[in-house]
């Protein structure tokens, strides 16, 4: 094991796969000489050179257009969209071209590409640079959606995304880039579509994603110590494919379900999970399903307001402790 930060794990995963496959190339703004605006790609230019690690113009459409074309001609490109909010600028390429190409060509054209993006709040970047946009991607058929909660999962899931034959949107939570944990050394790949039971429990199932996972785990400790509640915490890791099996097994055991989402409440991914639980587990539920989300308003840049909007450990504790 090695102690790596979330950002270091990004570079480690990309280097791991680029060493194995010369067809993997990397495109984005300031990703080469500068090592990325979040310093998540430091060292890649030095190791792989300017042919495979390329700085692009300040144009999301150009980045994804080149990425799609590269994938169509046999390369396996990785693109960086600096802030996930900027996917709005090039969403037509994602939703109408990249997501649909395999289906529209009857499998004659596959697009084995990854689009990485810094995602989410907590860094005081304001309404246009702090959105969690996993729901945008989850709503489009033909795209896989990944959002890791720690450095080890970053390495394993990004490697799997690069190997995948389908397009993958890989969301990196910006406020977590500096957080470190033990990361397996050598070749390391985690399967997409397999959630992680981060904490086992018997009274309540808490389903979380990305930056909400450590908050859910902290809340689970408090709920055990102060309220005697045993909480099972599920780190989804991927939204598409979604590990419904793990969710159903957990809620069948606990009888209670809480989702913790950084996304705005309306049409959040937790609503889909709540729908699945209501359909599959209605008679197993001992209490109403609860969703903890950000409100349906743009995120503030003021620290106290942003902290108030994004789900906190205290909010999770309050909601879970008050469940009937």
Catalytic residues: 129
- Closest by alpha carbon to 273, among 315, 313, 297, 245? 245
Look at the alpha carbons of 11, 17, 19, 22 in this order and tell me if their dihedral is positive or negative. Answer: negative
**Alpha-carbon distance values, 181 to 130, 148, 153, 177, 189 (Å):** 24, 13, 10, 11, 16
User: 77: which 2 tokens?
Assistant: 């490109």
CA dihedral of 266, 154, 80, 123, whole degrees rounded to 10: 60
**Chain centre distance of CA 273:** 16
CA distance linking residue 321 with residue 222, whole number of Å:
10
- For every residue of 230-247, DSSP letters joined together read -EEEEE--EEES--HHHH
CA distance linking residue 72 with residue 93, whole number of Å:
14
């Amino acid at each position: 094991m090695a102690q790596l930060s979330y950002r270091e794990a990004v570079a480690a995963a990309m280097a791991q796969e680029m060493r194995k496959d010369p067809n993997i190339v990397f495109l984005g703004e300031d990703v080469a000489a500068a090592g990325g605006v979040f310093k998540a790609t430091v060292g890649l230019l030095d190791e792989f050179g300017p042919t495979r690690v390329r700085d692009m113009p300040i144009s999301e459409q150009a980045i994804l257009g080149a990425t799609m074309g590269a994938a169509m001609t046999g390369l396996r490109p990785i693109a960086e969209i600096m802030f996930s909010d900027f996917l709005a600028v090039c969403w037509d390429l994602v939703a109408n071209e990249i997501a649909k190409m395999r289906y529209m060509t009857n499998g004659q054209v596959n697009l084995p590409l990854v689009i990485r993006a810094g995602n989410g709040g907590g860094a005081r970047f304001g309404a246009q640079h702090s959105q969690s946009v996993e729901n945008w991607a989850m709503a489009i058929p033909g795209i896989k959606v990944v959002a890791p909660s720690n450095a080890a999962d970053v390495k394993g899931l990004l490697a799997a995304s690069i190997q995948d034959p389908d397009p993958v949107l890989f969301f990196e939570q910006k406020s977590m880039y500096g957080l470190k944990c033990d990361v397996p050394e050598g070749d390391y790949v985690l399967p997409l579509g397999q959630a992680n039971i981060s904490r086992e429990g018997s009274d309540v199932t808490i389903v979380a994603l990305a930056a909400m996972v450590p908050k859910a785990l902290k809340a689970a400790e408090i709920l055990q110590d102060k309220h005697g509640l045993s909480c099972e915490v599920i780190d989804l890791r991927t939204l598409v494919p979604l590990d419904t099996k793990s969710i159903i097994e957990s809620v069948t055991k606990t009888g209670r379900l809480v989702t913790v989402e950084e996304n705005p409440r309306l049409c959040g991914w937790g609503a889909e999970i709540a729908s699945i639980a209501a359909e599959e587990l209605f008679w197993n539920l001992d209490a109403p399903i609860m969703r903890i989300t950000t409100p349906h308003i743009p995120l503030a840049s003021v620290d106290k307001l942003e902290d108030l909007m994004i789900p906190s450990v205290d909010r999770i504790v309050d909601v879970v402790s008050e469940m009937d």
